Chain A
Amino acid sequence: MRRNYRNRVWASVTSRDNALLADLQRVLGDRVRADSAERALLRRDASVFEGGDAGPTCLCETTEEVQQVVRIALAHGRAVVPRGAGTGLAGGAIPLGAPVVISLSRMNRIVDVDTESRIAWVEPGVVNLDLTKHLTPLGYHFAPDPSSQQVCTIGGNVGNNSGGPHCLAYGVTNAHILAIEVVLADGEIVTLGGLDAEPSGYDLRGVFVGGEGMLGITTKVAVRITPNPPAVRTLLLSFDTPRDAAATVSAVIAAGIVPAAMEVMDQRITIAVENYVNVGYPRDAGAVLLAEVDGLPDGVEIDAQRISDIGRAHGATDVRQAQSDEERMLLWKGRKTAFGAVAQIAPNYYLHDTVVPRSKLADTLEEVYRIADEHDLAVVNVFHAGDGNLHPLLLFNGQEPGIYDRVHAAGAKIVEASLAAGGVLSGEHGIGVEKQPYMRQMFSDDDLDHQERLRHAFDPACRSNPGKVIPVGHSCADIQSLRATPEGVWG
């Protein structure tokens, strides 16, 4: 976990790097950066985890450039790490062992939109929300909408198989990816999947989505585009306790309604969010449920009414319906920026992403609050209630001595409680380095062996984003490819 910057030696470019740099510069010119500022900044993504210094950073613009960089890195015995906007929450893009960082943020062209076939070809650096904005005038959108959608990139969405509030009805990223052009770890360019409804052979596209950069680097993606619904209703329900909100969510699903989204926030985070968006989130409610239904006008009217009734039957103290698109957008803006708003409460956060069966949601939540109390930590909960995906944020001040040990311990307990409730480690943020130590709690040695073999099928030498996901000690080749012991991460 994060340690203090103070103990760090500012990295300088070593002579070994000079030969590598010269080769990279031949391909990319001044789009290679290897100064100490850049190397230090890329130690982090949006999580609390901090890797070692990055090696040279390559701002690639084409698939061929990515291919050449991968080959040059390979020739110099160095690993590669792909990076988009760096908004990951599990340390998936942080550098371990001074790898060459392949930044894809400049590969941000929307190559082709075919509304007839409902397919768009995009480059990996396209910002998720930019794609939807581009599609809006055509009557379409890209359905996966992670909370960070205003900045996160499609490449990162593919790498983490990202979810988002509206994935409750529409499915996560995997359901919206048809084909992926990939540069494999040896520099070969392949296309996984295809545009046919039922591509022949193994579904390697499905294997690759969620691969966290360990199976190769995404350089182009064919995404499915979704028609905008004719009608949308957004409800904001207030409750005295998170338990009531969670019970409402279970009851709504049990009643056979499939809302587009159902999101819960507890009181502390609701107040922080309201401070930012000023849209009238209730500051005095113990929890709020943001529920959205979309579809044909008559249907959404009925569903909105039913959700409202179910809410009131489960203790909703107030039900409000967004009266305009503007109000709707502001309510969502509040929900989607919740993680960023926590700095109003404390300067650091550590966020978990476990998923539990919906029926266990209320109990697990109470357990989370208890664990935080026990470790004398502040916690806020904001989560995709509809699919049981918890996002407890432990809030703390990293400057406090010994605080990381407490945060670490509380995090482990939360994972334990979630797994005990029949849950899984990650809903949508990926494993990265964050959940790596918990993998053994979830998977047997046999499971991990198979995951490792699959990874080797794509990347036999473990050069692509090494040191992530599969627990250290299980994967020998990963250790060999790390130039130095990873510094500053867990353990």
Chain B
Amino acid sequence: MDLGIDPDRLGTCVQCGLCLSSCPTYRVTGDETFSPRGRIALMRQVQLHDAPLTPEVTEAFDTCIQCLGCEPACPSVVPYGHFIEATRTALTEHRGSRKRAIALWPLTKPRLLRLGSTLLAIAQRLRLVPARLGLPRRLPLRQPPHRTSGTDVYLFTGCVMDVWQREVHFATQRVLEAAGFGVTPTGDSAGCCGALHTHAGLAADGERLTERVDAALDLNIPIVVNSAGCGAHLKQHSSHQIFDAQEFLAEHLDRLPDVTPLDLTVAIQDPCHLRHVQRAHLPTRTLLKKFVRNVTELDDDGLCCGAGGAYSVLQPDMSQQVRDRKVASIERSNPDLVASANPGCSMHLAAAGVAIDHPMVIIDNALTRR
């Protein structure tokens, strides 16, 4: 079956195996099938040598979290992210894309998403929602509206995050304003960035959504994104100037007021799409060091937490094994709080009982002494 990968690029993996340790699914299974090297070998067999798509082969592809921890580990710079995205797209077309397309459809309809979330919030209060679903503990019943304070930067509000974690947007906006930037939240007109669609193998839908974002916004105004997954996708697919929130603010550190740092030890959990895709994880440290007493690192070299967008729902077993490993690393570091700049990661880890906040929320707290 043609996976749509350029055969020459597929040939660039020499199977040295240096990627193995940076793959979360290999780390928890110890099984070659669940490693980047194994998956690339299987892609070759399927695309170049007509190997059958057995359940084990599709499982190998489906269980990839797409954290792309293997990419910075590869000395030959094999574009694994491109391989797995193409493979997912081919598989989705092969198996029929209807279910996935329907599951992700609400993301493109903000009002429907908000209505759904309100219903969920009511259901939560009636204790009808099992905790194991990993939703935020108490979804808001009603959301205060966004406000515009200027046009220096856009704050990208996205889809699910705007519904479930709008307070992170508010915090980000306050921090940007504290640095003297007038902020326009992008809101419903720009909508969803399409990252989840692309990762789920619906590349065309993802593309269409990114185009909508681009069309809705002024090309001259930088877009600040506080969700690492959305930021990574937009950096790759949008034609606008995209900045991760920490990355943007670390460049303007001197514009942020000096305050007494919070008396906390904060461990940094880098979202994979910030660290491995955007490779913009260091500014989080620069920034946080100004606002908290002690910033510490986890000892697992940025291994994925297992959230992976919709992955935690689609592959709950593997996702939890990967999370267990992360939680153990957090416990060894023993911080007061964990900082993670991606809504999916923080929800996933919070569901395992980890005290976690977005760096922007932590900085906002330091600035407003809450």
Residues of A within 8 A of B (CB): 5-6, 8, 10, 33, 35-38, 40-42, 44-46, 57, 59, 85-87, 103, 105-106, 108, 125, 127, 129-130, 133, 148, 150-151, 272-273, 275-276, 337-344, 347-349, 397, 399
Contacts and interface: CB of A to CB of B under 8 A. Distances in A.
A59 to B, nearest CB: 6
B116 interface: no
Contacts of A10: 51-52
A41 B41 contact: yes
Interface in B10-54: 11-21, 29-33, 38, 41-42, 44-45, 48-49, 51-52, 54
29 contacts: A5-B44, A10-B51, A33-B56, A35-B54, A36-B56, A37-B56, A37-B57, A37-B60, A38-B31, A40-B45, A41-B41, A41-B42, A46-B16, A86-B32, A87-B16, A87-B17, A87-B18, A103-B30, A103-B31, A105-B30, A106-B29, A151-B20, A276-B76, A342-B76, A343-B12, A343-B13, A343-B76, A344-B12, A397-B11
A129 B300 CA distance: 12
Nearest to B76: A343
A10 B50 CA distance: 10
A129 B76 contact: no
Contacts of A37: 33, 42, 54, 56-57, 60
Contacts of B48: 5
Nearest to A136: B299
A155 B186 CA distance: 54
Contacts of A347: 11-12, 14
B77 A275 contact: yes
A130 B49 CA distance: 37
Nearest to A103: B30
B74 interface: yes
B75 A33 contact: no
Contacts of A273: 75
Given A5-B49, A6-B49, A87-B16, A341 B76 contact: yes
Given A151-B21, A347-B14, 20 more contacts: A6-B49, A35-B54, A36-B51, A36-B54, A37-B33, A37-B57, A37-B60, A40-B45, A41-B32, A41-B42, A46-B16, A87-B18, A87-B20, A103-B30, A105-B31, A125-B30, A150-B73, A340-B74, A340-B76, A348-B14
B33 A38 contact: yes
B168 interface: no
B3 to A, nearest CB: 15
Contacts of A44: 15, 41
B31 A337 contact: no
A276 B30 contact: no
Contacts, number: 115
A44 to B, nearest CB: 6
B75 A337 contact: yes
B78 interface: yes
A82 B74 CA distance: 26
Contact of A41 (B18, B21, B38, B49): B38
A344 B76 contact: yes
Nearest to A40: B45
A340 B21 CA distance: 14
B75 A106 contact: no
A184 B38 CA distance: 30
Nearest to B55: A35
A182 B30 CA distance: 21
Contact of A85 (B17, B49, B60, B73): B17
Chain B contact surface mostly: loop
Contacts of B17: 45-46, 85-87, 148, 151
A349 B14 contact: yes
A274 to B, nearest CB: 11
B340 to A, nearest CB: 22
A325 to B, nearest CB: 15
Contacts of A125: 30
Nearest to A83: B32
A126 to B, nearest CB: 11
Query: Which residue, A57, A151, A273, has most C-beta atoms of chain B within 10 A?
Result: A151
A10 B32 CA distance: 18
Contacts of B52: 10, 36
Contacts of B42: 37, 41
A343 B14 contact: yes
B26 to A, nearest CB: 8
Nearest to A6: B49
A5 B18 contact: no
Contact of B32 (A42, A272, A397, A399): A42
A59 B19 CA distance: 20
A339 B77 contact: no
Nearest to A348: B14
Interface string B286-305: 00000000000001000000
A148 B18 contact: yes
Q: What are the 4 A-B residue pairs with the smallest beta carbon separation, nearest first?
A: A105-B30, A343-B76, A337-B75, A341-B75
Contacts of A5: 44-45, 48-49
B76 to A, nearest CB: 3
Contacts of B51: 10, 36, 40
A342 B14 contact: yes
A137 B77 CA distance: 31
B303 to A, nearest CB: 12
A337 B22 CA distance: 14
A133 B299 CA distance: 8
B30 A338 contact: no
Contacts of B18: 87, 148, 150-151, 337, 340
A434 to B, nearest CB: 15
Nearest to B38: A41
A399 B44 CA distance: 13
A85 B38 CA distance: 12
A102 B14 CA distance: 24
A37 B31 CA distance: 12
A150 B22 CA distance: 9
Nearest to A125: B30
A254 to B, nearest CB: 33
A42 B37 CA distance: 11
A106 B30 contact: yes
A218 to B, nearest CB: 16
Contacts of B11: 347, 397, 399
A38 B77 contact: no
Contacts of B44: 5
Contacts of B38: 41
Given A6-B49, A37-B42, A276-B75, A340 B16 contact: yes
A105 B29 CA distance: 8
A147 to B, nearest CB: 9
Interface string B65-96: 00000000111111000000000000000000
A347 B44 CA distance: 13
A340 B14 contact: yes
Contact of A59 (B30, B41, B54, B56): B30
A106 B29 CA distance: 7
A46 B15 contact: yes
Nearest to B72: A276
Q: Which of B13, B31, B48 has the most CB of A within 10 A?
A: B31
B71 to A, nearest CB: 11
Nearest to A343: B76
Nearest to A107: B30
